[in-house]
């Protein structure tokens, strides 16, 4: 797709004069119902159902090939589903062409016109709608100020940094006050410091404007730090859609438990009708008892492990993370686990140090079967 095509599609045309709209508005309600999309024998979406509340910021997260990008392209109108509906405020927009949907999209590659200034790029969609020149220029200046680029309107894209170009792309998407904002990994091409700053700015703007937003990313930190809820996808299906805290603390499936953050898998034995489990010498409550007994695999976060000096286990690796340090530890049975301890407590715990590892007393999740090893 060319830069021109991307820019044209980035701001959809509904034929509405933006001058008649309020400066802020409540976002649209979005519902996906039974979305299916295949490419030959490859199934990209397999009956996806998802609700997004008005003004909500939803992140689509998952491994490569999980279907998150296909879902976003269906929302934008770049892909037509084989089956299913996309309901925007109750209206099925699947038959509506991409350039006629009241949506806006920010791309990973910025997609700015190189021959236009920042202000003209922002005003591009307004010019296509034949908004008057003075109003168009005022709106562009307002949006550039909103994204922190006041005074940059006369600069061309090659005179801007990557982060500044992405701010211009965001301002262009917001210029038409869309009901739905779509973000296609807009931060992945930026360096780490700029990514952190810009994700905070995007979230601030989204909250201020109240626009319903769907954000595709492969970066867990971005998803968990920005979104109201995160939809974790796998194999074209929705594994779980919940708040970041709920995803981390109460994952609904083994896949979510091991995909979000870091998870250790250690052998254990379910007792008391599956309500409790014995692991690493400690008896722990099971978060969601399923009646199993006997050998199971216990899922433990690194911060759920206590480490003390002297014992049968051995430190095999040390990784500094500022206030915390991650230890890699080999247990006597050959299982490797990761434990997060305060950096102060980790002083002296060098590779080869003998240690003991015990789980903290908190409910734990069980996997389907013991496999050993740390994830």
What would the pLDDT profile of 124-172 be if each residue is shown by its tens digit? 888 888 788 888 889 889 889 888 899 999 999 999 998 899 889 999 9
Task: Tell which of 190, 222, 254 closes a domain.
Answer: 254
What secondary structure does DSSP assign to 45-64, as a single string?
Answer: EEEEEEEE-TT-EEEEE-ST
What backbone torsions phi and psi does residue 47 show, to the nearest 5 degrees?
75, 50
Statement to judge: residues 108 and 38 lie in one domain: yes
Determine contact, residues 177/21, Cβ cutoff 8 Å.
yes
Statement to judge: residues 212 and 332 lie in one domain: no
Q: Is residue 76 part of a domain?
A: yes
Identify the pLDDT of residue 26.
64
Identify the pLDDT of residue 369.
52
CA dihedral for 332, 337, 339, 343, sign (positive or negative): positive
Determine contact, residues 79/126, Cβ cutoff 8 Å.
no
Contacts of 229 (CB under 8 A, 6+ apart): 56, 58, 59, 241, 242, 243, 244
Q: Is residue 186 part of a domain?
A: yes
Statement to judge: residues 127 and 29 lie in one domain: yes
DSSP state letter for 131: -
With 0.85 as the threshold, say if the pTM is over it.
no
Contacts of 214 (CB under 8 A, 6+ apart): 30, 52, 58, 59, 60, 72, 75, 180, 181, 182, 183
Q: Is residue 301 part of a domain?
A: yes
Identify the pLDDT of residue 192.
82
What secondary structure does DSSP assign to 305-327, as a single string?
Answer: EEEEEEEEEEEEEEEEETTEEEE
Task: Tell which of 233, 254, 275 closes a domain.
Answer: 254
Least confident of 176-180, 224-228, 246-250: 176-180
Q: Is residue 375 part of a domain?
A: no
> What does the pLDDT look like over 279-301, one tens digit per residue?
999 999 998 888 888 999 999 99
> What does the pLDDT look like over 78-103, one tens digit per residue?
999 999 999 999 999 999 999 888 89
Report how far residue 24's alpha carbon sits from residue 205's, in angstroms, rounded to the nearest whole number: 11
Identify the pLDDT of residue 6.
43
Domain count of the chain? 2
Q: Is residue 374 part of a domain?
A: no
Whether the per-residue pLDDT at 23 is higher than 90: the answer is: no
Structural domain boundaries enclosing 287: 263-367
């Amino acid at each position: 797709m060319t830069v021109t095509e991307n820019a044209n599609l980035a701001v959809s045309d509904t034929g509405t004069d933006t001058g008649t709209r309020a400066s802020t508005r409540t976002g649209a309600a979005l519902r996906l119902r039974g979305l299916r999309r295949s490419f030959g024998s490859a199934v990209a979406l397999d009956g996806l159902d998802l609700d997004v509340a008005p003004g909500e910021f939803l992140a689509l997260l998952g491994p490569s090939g999980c279907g998150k990008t296909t879902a976003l392209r269906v929302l934008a109108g770049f892909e037509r589903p084989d089956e299913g509906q996309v309901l925007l405020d109750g209206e099925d927009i699947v038959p509506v062409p991409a350039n006629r949907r009241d949506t806006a999209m920010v791309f990973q590659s910025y997609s700015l016109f190189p021959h236009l200034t920042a202000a003209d790029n922002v005003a591009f969609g307004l010019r296509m709608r034949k908004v008057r020149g003075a109003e168009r220029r005022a709106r562009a200046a307002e949006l550039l100020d909103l994204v922190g680029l006041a005074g940059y309107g006369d600069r061309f894209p090659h005179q801007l940094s990557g982060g500044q170009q992405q701010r211009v792309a965001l301002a262009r998407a917001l210029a038409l006050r869309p009901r739905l904002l779509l973000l296609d990994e807009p931060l992945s091409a930026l360096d780490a410091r700029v990514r952190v700053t810009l994700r905070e700015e995007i979230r601030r703007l989204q909250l201020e404007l109240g626009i319903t937003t769907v954000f595709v990313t492969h970066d867990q930190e971005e998803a968990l730090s920005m979104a109201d809820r995160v939809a974790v996808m796998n194999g074209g299906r929705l594994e779980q859609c919940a708040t970041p805290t709920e995803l981390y603390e109460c994952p609904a499936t083994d896949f979510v438990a091991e995909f979000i953050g870091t998870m250790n898998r250690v052998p254990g034995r379910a007792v008391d009708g599956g309500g409790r489990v014995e692991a690493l010498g400690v008896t722990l409550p099971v978060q969601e008892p399923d009646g199993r007994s006997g050998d199971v695999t216990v899922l433990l976060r690194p911060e759920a492990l206590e480490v003390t000096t002297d014992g049968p286990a051995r430190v095999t690796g040390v990784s500094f993370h500022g206030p915390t340090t991650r230890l890699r530890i080999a247990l006597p049975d050959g299982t490797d686990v990761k434990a997060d301890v305060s950096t102060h407590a980790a002083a002296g715990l060098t590779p080869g140090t003998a240690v003991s590892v015990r789980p903290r007393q908190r409910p734990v999740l069980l996997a389907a079967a013991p496999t050993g090893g740390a994830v």
